[in-house]
Structure 1
Amino acid sequence: MIFEVLSIILLILLCSISIYTDYKKGLIYNRVLLIIGIPLIVLNFVSIFIDRPEKLTKYILLVLISIGISIFLYMFKIWAGGDFKLFSVIILGMPYSYVLKSINDLSYIFIVLLFSFSFGYIFLIGESLVHMIKEKRSAKSIVLSSLVEFKNYLKIYVCILFFNHITDTIYSALFQNQIPVWVQVGLNIGFIVLIRKLDILKYKSVMITFLLADLILGAFSFEMFSDYRVYVTWGIIIFILMTRAMVQKYNYKEIKYTELKKGMILSTVSSISLANEKKLKFCRLSDESLDSRLAQEEVEDILIFCSQNEKYNNITIVKKIPFALFLSLATLIVIIGGNYFEFESF
């Protein structure tokens, strides 16, 4: 018990420091992860060794899955190295009893991830709304952009109805059973990727063919429009598309060139403009992903150049989401909340 208490104290300390450093500096310091993380992980492992929990195998499996998710998010540049390292320490340092606790069969460690992404999404929406209000811009372009995306969604929806009907019929004939949901989802994803790659939905003849096929096969019926859930679903989709369009529109920040720092990401437009300057060594175009973060040498090169060129007093960068902050905050909520609410264990 004492080891678990000490682990919780260290975890709260780690998250509190991470919130501060990510907010103030936009960084998660390795020395903090080492100084607090190593004792934290050791305490948790000692606690496991002493208690020898019955569900140790499940704990190990949950930890491995969590680390796998973390690696996936890092490899696909969804979060940075600092976020990856912080979450790894949280995974290995969170008391095993908390990892085994769950809400609706979802481990606390996954709840942390869910909360983190939710906080990040809310942050982006909120910040975008503030900018839109401050700049007194009309939401017309956002609405129009969302409607265009919704139109594309409906096109895919019509195709998926046809595809689902065909695959379900074939599967039922072969195996005398209904196709499993996870198989259908996997096939749908593959089908969507294929039709997007072929870029065939832009042709009216293709869409008319799919629609007629749906009507003939019975995959599509006008009775479905009498179900209110269809409209609720579409409303949610339009809302999500609108928020995404809004976030993309206000995903940039203009700063003075003197504020440029290592790790920042230039907007594509700014990077093109700078790359075209012959006197500047910087020649890398930004794709606005984590791969485009500026190195210290690049920052110094740009600072020297901008100091000699007045037209570059301001530079546009991609806004940084303080993900480590949200990750730490989510962990604090789960750890502290877990002491007040009893949930089932796996």
Structure 2
Amino acid sequence: MKLCEILLMSIILVLGIVVIVTDFHAGVIKNKVLLVAIVFGVIINSIYITFFAKNFLLVYLLNWFAVSLISVLLYAFRFWAAGDSKLMITLAFLIPARYYENSLLLISGVYYIIFIFLLAYLYIIVESIVLAIKKKEYYRKHIEKRFFKEFIYRYFVSYLYLRTLTLILQNIMGEFYYTNQLFFTFINIFIILYIHEKEVFHKRTIILILFGINALLIIWSILQGSYTVNLDILHNYVIVLLAIFLRYLVSGYNYEEIQTSEVKKGMVLSYATVVGFMPSRVKGLPQTTSEDMSSRITEEEAEAVRRWEKSKYGKNSIIIVRKIPFAIFIVCGTISYIVMRIVMTCL
């Protein structure tokens, strides 16, 4: 068993080094590298689970599915690129099944994701401070009173939806929901982000109905003498609030000015840059951008931007959206999770 676990962790280490190098130098995570790791992982996992870790198969599959689901949602909500999502799914597959077992938390793989984003946020904060000192930062948004009013209103609306969904899940899942609240906290974050993006969820009629349902449920619980305040659930609401607020704050520090001649395939152009293309007659220039991974430019568009530099409206420099090197955080988060599980199993 130990040999299989060592082999799986060796694959994680080798894969991690390779993808970190390619992500930094080329900005891509190659599918061939992931495929090779999966092939070796399937062979070793087949032996490992069949002969040594059969009792951990269910918890392994549950955690791998949960981590993969969150990974896909992170891609769907444009937190990172498809390559990062595939890397996370691959690494979660390679984590030895025994390390997912946890007597206190069935979906312990959530800690894996927490490690990744703690490292990523730490990087963003440190880099933002460095850029601020060097006076290289570009702000897309400014914190104003209007922002706080809108943020509080939207969070209140999201809370109504969240509380209604929580009550439904509590009744359907029972104890499973309570023992895995950390996992459902991540799901709640995605739900709130989706609600924020869709105006249909902010219609006054729907909000009033939700408010009425929540009020009736509280009154009913009080009359039945069963109304209690679950501090753990309140903590989860606070985590959701902080996660969304922090995401907003760091979004203002994600720009970089580069020479137009250095534009390459896979870069994401800023709104200001794309707007500057409008008067130009150069063919093939990007026309829109959402400033996320879905707006990465093609080689043809990069070539058009380089031609634009020498045109009538061209400029020597443009502003791009800096890509967070998530590969290193995913790899380091995986290693941190494994180390944590090894320490816990040894205690």
TM-score w.r.t. the length of structure 1 is 0.70
Q: Which residue of 1 aligns with 2:181?
A: none
**Per-residue deviation, 1:198:** 7.1
Cα deviation 1:192-237 (Å, max 9, x = unaligned): 7799537567xxxx99xx9xxx8xx999xxxxxxxxx9xx999999
CA contact (8 A) 1:11 1:40 kept: no
* Stretch of structure 1 that moved more, 323-332 or 52-61: 52-61
**Per-residue deviation, 1:326:** 0.7
What is the total number of aligned residue pairs between the two structures?
311
Amino acid at match of 2:39: I
Amino acid at match of 1:86: L
**Per-residue deviation, 1:272:** 2.4
Q: Which residue of 2 aligns with 1:225?
A: none
Q: Which residue of 1 aligns with 2:130?
A: 130
1:11 & 1:302 partners in 2: Cα distance? 38
Distance change in 2, residues 1:194/1:26 (3 Å): closer
1:111 & 1:57 partners in 2: Cα distance? 18
Q: Which residue of 2 aligns with 1:114?
A: 114
CA contact (8 A) 2:64 2:89 kept: no
Q: Which residue of 2 aligns with 1:315?
A: 318
CA contact (8 A) 2:41 2:94 kept: yes
User: What RMSD over aligned residues (CA atoms) do the two structures have, in Å?
Assistant: 4.5
Higher relative contact order (CA 8 A, sep 6+): 1
Equivalent residues in 2 for 1:116-195 (5 A)?
116-135=116-135, 141-142=142-143, 144=145, 147-152=148-153, 156=157, 160=160
CA contact (8 A) 2:8 2:94 kept: yes
2:77 & 2:237 partners in 1: Cα distance? 29
Asked if 1:341 corresponds to 2:344, the answer is yes
Q: Which residue of 1 aligns with 2:49?
A: 48
**Per-residue deviation, 1:150:** 4.7
Distance change in 2, residues 1:178/1:111 (3 Å): closer
CA contact (8 A) 1:146 1:241 kept: no
1:194 & 1:250 partners in 2: Cα distance? 21
Q: Which residue of 2 aligns with 1:65?
A: 66
Q: Which residue of 1 aligns with 2:268?
A: 265
Equivalent residues in 2 for 1:222-237 (5 A)?
none
Amino acid at match of 2:327: A
**Per-residue deviation, 1:87:** 1.5
Provide the secondary structure at the position in 2 that maps to 1:55. Answer: helix
Q: Which runs of 5+ in 2 are unaligned?
A: 178-183, 221-230
CA contact (8 A) 1:4 1:95 kept: yes
Q: Which residue of 2 aligns with 1:287?
A: 290
**Per-residue deviation, 1:320:** 0.7
2:237 & 2:58 partners in 1: Cα distance? 42
2:154 & 2:106 partners in 1: Cα distance? 30
**Per-residue deviation, 1:331:** 0.7
TM-score w.r.t. the length of structure 2 is 0.70
CA contact (8 A) 1:102 1:343 kept: no
Distance change in 2, residues 1:297/1:178 (3 Å): closer
Amino acid at match of 1:10: I
Provide the secondary structure at the position in 1 that maps to 2:109. Answer: helix
1:304 & 1:195 partners in 2: Cα distance? 38
Amino acid at match of 1:321: I
CA contact (8 A) 2:115 2:337 kept: no
1:154 & 1:68 partners in 2: Cα distance? 24
CA contact (8 A) 1:265 1:294 kept: yes
1:249 & 1:96 partners in 2: Cα distance? 40
2:110 & 2:155 partners in 1: Cα distance? 32
**Per-residue deviation, 1:64:** 2.7
Q: Which residue of 2 aligns with 1:222?
A: none
Q: Which residue of 2 aligns with 1:32?
A: 33
Distance change in 2, residues 1:242/1:43 (3 Å): closer
CA contact (8 A) 2:66 2:107 kept: no
**Per-residue deviation, 1:58:** 2.8
Equivalent residues in 2 for 1:81-96 (5 A)?
81-96=82-97
CA contact (8 A) 2:255 2:322 kept: yes
CA contact (8 A) 1:59 1:96 kept: yes
In terms of Rg, which structure is larger? 1
Runs of 4+ in 1 over 6 A off after TM superposition: 177-182, 192-195, 232-242
Amino acid at match of 1:80: A
Identity of aligned residues (%): 27
Provide the secondary structure at the position in 2 that maps to 1:112. Answer: helix
Distance change in 2, residues 1:280/1:103 (3 Å): farther
2:323 & 2:5 partners in 1: Cα distance? 34
Distance change in 2, residues 1:89/1:247 (3 Å): same
CA contact (8 A) 1:145 1:245 kept: no
